[in-house]
Amino acid sequence: MRLRLDLSYDGAGFHGWATQPDLRTVQGELTSALQKVLRVEEIQLTVAGRTDTGVHARGQVAHFDLAPAVLESVTGRSDVSPLASLVRRVNGVLEPDIRVRAIAMAAEGFDARFSAIWRRYCYRIADHAGCRDPLTRGFVLHWPRNLDEALMNDAAEALLGEHDFAAFCKRREGATTIRTLLDLEWERDQSGVLVGTVRADAFCHNMVRSLVGCLIAIGEGRKPVTWAAQILEARARDSAVGVVAAHGLTLEEVGYPDDLDLADQAKRSRVVRTLSR
């Protein structure tokens, strides 16, 4: 049987998602907690979004497989299901900077990584004294200069759709940098914090933080609105594009198709894409 986990974490205390020897990682902590509570020797977690060091998640999704007999051994209060007991016990073992929000039986064909059709991140910026809140400083970037979100939105429009985002990615050997950017929009929340919503089928390494770095330069007026499209067209990293701090970035939500399409989506995602235009 396959179980789906929905989880949140404060990235400040982790060297990112992926297990690394001698470093505290989200995957490492969660794997240990599940192994301890379920009393099994090996749990293999697959995740939707492999977040970098310092990046947060509110809507992260992962899955793991388990023999059904193991779950039955998780006994809790008689009025609570084994899965609800498992959530409670795993959270009891985990430090408070990771919380498992829910564990559910996965639908047939579900794969946390390959069934996902989009990932939605938010990047938060407090660009003036009136909206810099010490209580949220762990997940909001305090930027010293005012930003014009109208300019940032104008520039962002040229980036939407399927493109080779090589200019905004840390290249990995043999991996494509073609992605479909579905949303990239800036809005102020009620406290005045500038919230950038970035949604794509998938992201390559550093992509959100480079996109935000580019748009900040435009929002400050240091670069013209057309600069974002120029960078994209060049398909090569430009040292003028800063990669903004990790702590402003949060993985908010992962989108999946209806249950019937899960397996098909997983098959499609495994095919390395080539630029279709």
Task: List the catalytic residues.
Answer: 52
Residue 58 half-sphere exposure, CB side, CA atoms within 13 Å?
10
Quick count: other Cβ atoms within 10 Å of Cβ 112? Answer: 24
- Residue 267 binds its own copies, judged by CB under 8 A: no
DSSP 204-240: -TTHHHHHHHHHHHHHTTSS-TTHHHHHHHHTS--TT
CA distance 108 to 65: 12
- Residue 82 binds its own copies, judged by CB under 8 A: no
Q: Considering only CA atoms, which of 11, 9, 4 is closest in space to residue 98? A: 9
Tokens of residue 220, six digits: 């400050």
Task: Kindly indicate which of the ranges 40-48, 83-91, 226-234, 258-266 contains the residues binding its own copies, using the contact rule CB under 8 A.
Answer: 83-91
Give the x-and-dash track for 1-40 against its own copies (CB under 8 A).
-------xxx------------------------------
Residue 17 Cβ, how far from its own copies at the closest point, in Å?
Answer: 14
- Residue 148 binds its own copies, judged by CB under 8 A: no
63 vs 124 by CB, closer to its own copies: 124
101 vs 172 by CB, closer to its own copies: 101
Task: Kindly indicate which of the ranges 98-106, 115-123, 194-202, 221-229 contains the residues binding its own copies, using the contact rule CB under 8 A.
Answer: 98-106
Q: How many residues does the chain have?
A: 277
Adjacent-strand bridge partners of 6:
61, 102
- Residue 56 binds its own copies, judged by CB under 8 A: yes
CA distance 181 to 195: 17
121 vs 139 by CB, closer to its own copies: 139
- Residue 188 binds its own copies, judged by CB under 8 A: no
Adjacent-strand bridge partners of 99:
8
Size of the site for its own copies (CB under 8 A): 26
Which region holds residue 34: left if phi is over 0, alpha if psi is between -120 and 50, else beta?
A: alpha
Tell me which of 24, 101, 145, 172 binds its own copies, using CB under 8 A.
Answer: 101
- Residue 129 binds its own copies, judged by CB under 8 A: yes
Quick count: other Cβ atoms within 10 Å of Cβ 232? Answer: 19
Tell me which of 133, 187, 189, 233 binds its own copies, using CB under 8 A.
Answer: 133
- Residue 110 binds its own copies, judged by CB under 8 A: no
Tell me which of 22, 41, 69, 96 binds its own copies, using CB under 8 A.
Answer: 96
Q: Which helix (H) or strand (E) holds 263?
A: helix 262-270
- Residue 78 binds its own copies, judged by CB under 8 A: no
Q: Which residues bind its own copies (CB under 8 A)?
A: 8-10, 56, 58, 87-88, 91, 96-102, 129-130, 132-135, 137-139, 142, 250
